[in-house]
């Protein structure tokens, strides 16, 4: 089980909290799944039990249909945010990393068809493999943050924060107006196009350009 956050390669003294996920924040991903464009950020939550270390082999459910990759920029919150402004949101960021929002696509499709919540497809144990974080002083949060996922040496997802429909700080502001973000919470900021099924034995390569290169595999 995920027990602590790492920043710049060292554990830090922040509790492990919830994961707040943003859906449909890249237009091309919305189009690839034929979804509607939301009027405001679409939010859902993964519990702390969804977290695991992406550097360790990733376990996916065997009996629940297709499990898709969704690679996202992950934001580690270092200060409490309640109904905050953008400057406060920016100053709250402790680190930036990568997270996989693993999604049981068949389960999600069935839930969506019934108008039901997605948590069974999104919040299962180990559904959020997370990378170590890079401290915010090493990354321009308002710059173009590039990231990618390769599966078996084939690039499957490429993203750039410049293509987000809602930027990182505005997402934190919006979330804080609905519920409080606490120190140790993580925000996943949405996935670019290129989602697809993972299978046992797949080798993954996650890149946060100029900061992180992680190799792992699916079991």
| pLDDT attached to residue 37 | 77
Which helix (H) or strand (E) is 80 found in, with range?
A: none
Q: Is the confidence at residue 188, as pLDDT, over 80?
A: yes
Q: What is the pLDDT of residues 137-174, one digit of tens each?
A: 999 999 999 999 999 999 999 999 999 989 999 999 99
Q: Answer whether residue 175 shows pLDDT above 90.
A: yes
Q: What is the pLDDT, as a whole number, of residue 35?
A: 81
pLDDT tops 90 at residue 32: no
Helix (H, G, I), strand (E, B), or coil: what is residue 56? coil
Determine how β-strand 146-151 pairs with β-strand 103-104.
unpaired
Can you give the pLDDT at residue 40?
Answer: 87
What is the tens place of the pLDDT at every residue in 131-143? 999 999 999 999 9
What pLDDT digit, counting tens, does each position of 86-98 carry? 999 999 999 999 9
CB atoms within 10 A of CB 34: 6
How far is CA 203 from each of CA 54, 164, 191, rounded to the nearest angstrom? 12, 27, 19
**23: pLDDT confidence band, cut at 50, 70 and 90?**
confident
Cα–Cα distance measured from residue 93 to residue 73, given in angstroms and rounded to the nearest whole number: 13
Number of H helices, E strands in the chain: 5, 17
Average pLDDT score over residue span 24-43: 83
- Residues 6 or more apart whose CB falls under 8 angstroms from that of 211 comprise 96, 134, 138, 139
Asked if residue 30 has pLDDT above 80, the reply is no
**Whether 103 contacts 144, CB under 8 Å:** no
pLDDT score, position 54: 98
Q: Is the pLDDT of residue 108 over 90?
A: yes
The pTM of this model reads 0.96
pLDDT at 29 over 90: no
What is the CATH number assigned to the segment(s) 6-217?
Answer: 3.90.850.10
pLDDT, position 94: 98
What rounded mean pLDDT belongs to the chain?
95
Q: Tell me the two tokens of residue 100.
A: 């996989």
Domain residue extents for the chain: 6-217
């Amino acid at each position: 089980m995920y027990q602590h956050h790492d920043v710049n390669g060292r554990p830090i003294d922040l509790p492990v909290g919830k994961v707040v996920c943003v859906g449909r924040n890249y237009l091309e991903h919305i189009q690839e799944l034929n979804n509607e464009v939301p009027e405001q950020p679409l939010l859902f939550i993964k519990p702390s039990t969804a977290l695991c270390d992406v550097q360790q082999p990733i376990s996916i459910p065997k009996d629940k249909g297709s499990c898709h990759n969704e690679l996202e920029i992950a934001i580690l919150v270092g200060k409490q945010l309640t109904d905050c402004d953008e400057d406060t949101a920016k100053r709250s960021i402790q680190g930036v990393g990568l997270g996989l929002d693993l999604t049981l696509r068949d389960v999600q499709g069935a839930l969506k068809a019934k108008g039901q919540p997605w948590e069974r497809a999104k919040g299962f144990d180990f559904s959020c493999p997370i990378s170590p974080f890079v401290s915010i002083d090493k990354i321009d949060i308002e710059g173009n943050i590039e990231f990618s996922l390769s599966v078996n040496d084939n690039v499957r997802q490429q993203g750039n924060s410049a293509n987000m429909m809602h930027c990182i700080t505005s997402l934190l502001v919006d979330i804080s107006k609905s519920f409080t973000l606490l120190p140790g919470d993580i925000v996943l900021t949405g996935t670019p196009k290129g989602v697809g099924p993972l299978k046992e034995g797949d080798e993954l390569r996650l890149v946060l350009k100029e900061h992180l290169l992680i190799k792992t595999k699916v079991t």
